[in-house]
Amino acid sequence: MFEARLVQGNLLKKVVDAVKDLVTDANFDCSSSGFTLQAMDNSHVSLVSLSLRSDGFEHFRCDRNMSMGMSLGNLAKILKCAGNDDIVTMKAADDGDTVTFMFESPKEDRVSDFELKLMDIDSEHLGIPDTDYAATVTLPAAEYQRICRDLSSIGDTVVISATKDGVKFSSSGDVGTANITVRQNTTADKKEEQVSIDLKEPVALTFALRYLNSFAKATPLASHVSLSMARDLPVMVDYQISDMGHLRFYLAPKIED
Amino acid sequence: ILPQPRLPSYFTSE
């Protein structure tokens, strides 16, 4: 059987809210090492990879590897019924066709359980090779969200160029053009405002803002987000989930003909 | 408009 108890239950809610517009149905894979999900959007343009390590749960038991197919829309509906401070426990039998979510209030005066029907989902699992990225910029998640949102009102795509001077986000469209540059700032007073740039070689890639904007729905999960880029390879947009794992998104750059 | 490449051409199928 599978059983996992998460004290920070709202973390699960944030994860599902971050991916449900990109991916409709997905398989959650459980093993003794943790709870993971890998899924592409319908058009196979972007990929979501979630990893929650078993040691990040208060209690984690998985007797046999299992894959649980869920409608993320329905899962979001159920998780919406959990209180913000509730402890969430997931339970599933090895051969069952449902997963149960139990919500406990912190004061232990309210307990509820919701059963979600599992579904059979054919999904293609992709191997993501370890990559030596040319540049990795780590910036406040809210800043990344703002850049993507602001540039979306100018154009459909963004050119992200990383040089030793900083990382420039440029967009152009009918309205005109926009450039936003973030510079390394590892001495900001507040840790949550720090920006760091790890540059091995300059790189410039063009991406569809629609997807980068969608990834920004993970903003509530982490103070910072990292963008890792290498020439002609998908960007990795990485939100670290403290003490537990990560939620990563991948998007291939647009290629000049 | 530049074409949007799909991801499976970058990653291997497992």
**Mean of pLDDT values over A157-177:** 95
pLDDT at A98: 97
What pLDDT does A164 receive? Answer: 87
Mean of per-residue pLDDT scores for chain A: 95
Q: Is the pLDDT of residue A2 over 70?
A: yes
* Residue from B11, B12, B13, B14 whose CB has the most chain A CBs within 10 Å, to mutate: B11
Contact A43 B6 (CB under 8 A): yes
Residue A169 tokens read as 């986000």
pLDDT of residue A257: 58
- The answer to whether the beta carbons of residues A111 and A25 sit under 8 Å apart is no
Contact A72, A23 (CB under 8 A): yes
Inform me whether the pLDDT recorded for A177 exceeds 90.
yes
Q: What is the arithmetic mean of pLDDT over A165-191?
A: 92
Q: What is the DSSP letter of A44?
A: S
Average pLDDT over residues A179-205: 91
**In the structure, what pLDDT confidence band is assigned to residue A12 with cuts at 50, 70 and 90?**
very high
Give mean pLDDT, residues A225-236.
97
Q: Tens digit of pLDDT for each residue in B1-14? A: 788 899 988 998 87
pLDDT for residue A254: 93
Question: Torsions phi, psi of A37, nearest 5?
Answer: -150, 135
Q: What is the pLDDT of residues A32-90, one digit of tens each?
A: 999 999 999 999 999 999 999 999 999 999 999 999 999 999 999 999 999 999 999 99
Which of B2, B3, B12 is nearest residue A127 as measured by Cβ atoms?
B12
Eight-class DSSP state of A144: H
pLDDT at A186: 84
What lies within 8 Å, CB to CB, of A70 at 6+ separation is A25, A26, A27, A28, A99, A116, A118, A119
Tell me if A126 and B8 make a contact (CB, 8 A cut-off).
Answer: yes
> If you average pLDDT over residues A130-139, what whole number do you get?
96
User: Do A48 and A39 contact (CB within 8 A), yes or no?
Assistant: yes
Residue from B1, B2, B6, B7 whose CB has the most chain A CBs within 10 Å, to mutate: B7
One-letter identity of residue A218: A
pLDDT for position A120: 94
Q: In whole angstroms, what is the distance from residue A195 CA to residue A184 CA?
A: 5
Q: Is the pLDDT of residue A118 over 70?
A: yes
Question: In the A/B pair of chains, how many CB contacts fall below 8 A?
Answer: 59
- For chain A, give the percent of residues with pLDDT over 90: 91
The shortest CB-CB distance from B7 to any of A129, A208, A234 is to: A234
